[in-house]
Amino acid sequence: MLADHETSPGSICLHIEAGVPLVKNYESIASIIFDLTAGTVDIAEGPPCEYPYHRLSLNDCLRRWAAASPSLSQGEVRRPERGLSHN
Ligand SMILES: [Zn+2]
């Protein structure tokens, strides 16, 4: 669905078009799907018609953050020392 081109030029997935002025020329640079029920985030690192989605588990991220910051269990929120990875 997010790779849709059917309603171009106003489609969800956009690409640079030759001859269109730069200020009116748009391109999808990433696509992100949050599924709050499943606790997942799917990320495509470019136009979704060209790049595969990588799934992150929010529960896995929270477990890593909690392990890196024991004070989380006491209600204090800190940033993790390491960024998210694509697993
Ligand atoms: Zn596309």
Answer whether 0.85 is exceeded by the pTM: no
Q: What is the pLDDT of residue 86?
A: 55
Residue at 34 is within a domain: yes
Residue at 50 is within a domain: yes
CA-to-CA dists, residue 64 to 57, 67, 69, 86, angstroms: 11, 5, 9, 13
Cα(33) to centroid(ligand 1), Å:
16
Residue at 85 is within a domain: no
CA 86 to chain CA centroid, Å, is 11
Cα(32) to centroid(ligand 1), Å:
14
Domain that holds residue 27: 22-73
Q: Which of 53, 41, 49, 57 is nearest to 1 (CA)?
A: 49
Q: What is the pLDDT of residue 65?
A: 87
Length of the chain: 87
Ion ligand 1: residues, CB within 5 A, are: 13, 47, 49
Q: What is the pLDDT of residue 62?
A: 85
Residue 23, pLDDT above cutoff 80: yes
Residue at 78 is within a domain: no
Residue at 4 is within a domain: no
Q: Provide the number of structural domains found in the chain.
A: 1
pLDDT in tens, 25-75: 889 999 999 999 999 999 999 999 999 999 999 988 888 888 888 766 565
Q: What is the pLDDT of residue 49?
A: 94
